[in-house]
Structure 1
């Protein structure tokens, strides 16, 4: 299954994306990396996703974007 996780670089979304990856799903994280949280924490979360994806059968992609951008959302969910 291909899953899109919005806010996937944040705390909750990051854990969801990791769980989906561990279960072997294809995951696209969609996040605008807003500085509400320390950007280094978000980058670390994305690094964890890449590491977990390399150890499973699932694929991983990151898409920088904002859920308020309807066209970007349509594009990112088209394959999910």
Structure 2
């Protein structure tokens, strides 16, 4: 279940339309989509879903705009998450 849940939320993050000029507001939109999608799941499952969702989102920013300053922030965030996991 956990792997399926993580994959489902990672796919949701990948489905969000991103534009470079809209990345500043994208995190707010990202958070709202996560909140909507995770309604009705247990707190434990929500933690798994949130980590998969947010990681996929940050990886996508790095993949799509590797030279943008937001990608540098995303890389630092991803590194921090992996160090603390």
Normalised by the length of structure 2, the TM-score is 0.34
Q: Pick the structure with more helix per residue.
A: 2
Q: Pick the structure with more strand per residue.
A: 1
Normalised by the length of structure 1, the TM-score is 0.35
* Larger Rg over CA atoms: 2
